[in-house]
Amino acid sequence: MSGRLTVRNLYKEYADPDEGTIVAVDDLSLDIDDGEMIIVVGPSGCGKSTTLRCIAGLTDPTSGEILIDGADVTDLPARKRDVAMVFQDYALYPHMTARENMGFGLKMRTDLPKAEIRERVDRVAETMGIGDLLEKRPDEMSGGQQQRVALGRAIVREPAVFLMDEPLSNLDAKLRTKMRTEIQELQNELDVTTVYVTHNQTEAMTMGDRIAVMNHGNLQQFGTPLECYHTPNNTFVATFIGSPSMNLIDVASGGTGTLDADAFTYHLTDALREEVPDGDRFTFGFRPEDVELSETDPDFEVDVTVVEPRGDLTYVSGDLGSQSVTLTLPGTEWIEEGRTVGVRVPADAVYLFDDETGELLFTRKSPTDGNTGAGGSADATENADTTENTASAENADRAENAGPTGK
């Protein structure tokens, strides 16, 4: 019952009284495999919902095509597309029971006999563990229960494609974490092609096979979560994926194997030196969780301004010369505000970007590549550790995209 979904050169503009036109989605192309779950992520207004609505048939694209299993559905109305959508606000009919809500689409869109609709609803309710809700109306259910019913309603339709628009954003943090796992399990079990829109980067990192990162209507990267984390295409992806955000520092090439900023000189290892392209100015990047404190051999010193202990981790904000940086340290590490600490950035944690275009010039490789990047084989374990730490930090369900400095 599943389907391959192709979005080809999707472009959507809206008329705007002040600005003339707003380009909501700009030449977006995505090839989504049968049974794959992809997460569309990006800041508010980047075109996520418009993309989803164009796939659903709720918004007409200005140009471009939508194909399901190779068939062009661009001109088909929503009800004739083999897709089911789950919204943030559940959109259940208040006067109907959960059973009636779940069966309603089948009753309206198909000529399935009543008994079969009943059987399908029962089967899905059993799979989802919501059998006891079937005779209840929405006002007798909690938010989480309503969202389960809304999901169930999409599942009974047995569509080729599921479209989910921020389905968890009305739920509290704990329930959100639980439902996140439930949706993943259901999606694995049903194996239905799914496009899931969110601005929450924990969901982006953990739920999908691949992430499509968008900004200003443009696709910035379409890759696995770990590819986007380890080898971001540009500074936008680098700072959007990962929490707190990657630190970016303007540097000049010192010519003799160093990168110079106003407050430090970074000495490149021989292996790194060969990787650095010609050029005078770069943007030097390092993730907060990759640093080490070092009293004896620091790359630079940070004047600590704010310390936020979280128990498992400690977030430290501070000044590196004229620029602000964030460090993520083990929770066992205690630093007083106002202190100056020595910090080391290991060679395999260095990212380098073009200072004008923001494009990635150099990075370690993703551990899933089977290639450990500049540092050689010993670094494989180090990279894997980093990933694990990050995953557990994500599991703590920190506030979406919020680093301590609110970057």
Is 247 a residue that touches ligand ADP (CB under 6 A)? no
How many residues form the binding site for ligand ADP (CB under 6 A)?
Answer: 11
Nearer to ligand ADP, 35 or 45 (CB): 45
Nearer to ligand ADP, 208 or 404 (CB): 208
Nearer to ligand ADP, 60 or 119 (CB): 60
**Rounded least distance, CB 14 to ligand ADP, Å:** 3
The residues, ordered by sequence, that sit 6+ positions from 282 with a Cβ below 8 Å of its Cβ are 251, 252, 253, 259, 276, 352, 353, 354, 355, 361
**Rounded least distance, CB 40 to ligand ADP, Å:** 8
d(CA 171, CA 184): 17
Nearer to ligand ADP, 78 or 293 (CB): 78
Binding mask 16-35 for ligand ADP (x = CB under 6 A): ------x-x-----------
**Rounded least distance, CB 278 to ligand ADP, Å:** 38
d(CA 103, CA 153): 7
Angle between helices 143-156 and 98-109 (to 10 degrees): 30
The residues, ordered by sequence, that sit 6+ positions from 119 with a Cβ below 8 Å of its Cβ are none
**Rounded least distance, CB 207 to ligand ADP, Å:** 17
**Rounded least distance, CB 227 to ligand ADP, Å:** 22
d(CA 366, CA 181): 24
Nearer to ligand ADP, 48 or 365 (CB): 48
CA-based radius of gyration for the chain: 24
Distance (Å) of CA 197 to CA 34, 137, 395: 18, 27, 19
**Rounded least distance, CB 50 to ligand ADP, Å:** 3
Binding mask 279-298 for ligand ADP (x = CB under 6 A): --------------------
Q: Which amino acid is at 277?
A: P
Nearer to ligand ADP, 212 or 335 (CB): 212
**Rounded least distance, CB 48 to ligand ADP, Å:** 4
Report the residue from 14, 140, 142, 338 that binds ligand ADP according to the rule CB under 6 A: 14
Tokens in use for 384? 């894997």
Nearer to ligand ADP, 130 or 205 (CB): 205
Tokens in use for 202? 């924990």
**Rounded least distance, CB 261 to ligand ADP, Å:** 34
Site for ligand ADP in 156-175 (CB under 6 A): none
Nearer to ligand ADP, 41 or 259 (CB): 41
Site for ligand ADP in 38-97 (CB under 6 A): 42, 44-50
**Rounded least distance, CB 45 to ligand ADP, Å:** 4
**Rounded least distance, CB 55 to ligand ADP, Å:** 12
| Contact indicator for 299, 291 with CB cutoff of 8 Å | no
Task: For strands 37-41 and 210-215, give the pairing.
Answer: parallel
Nearer to ligand ADP, 49 or 101 (CB): 49
Q: What are the residues binding ligand ADP (CB under 6 A)?
A: 14, 22, 24, 42, 44-50
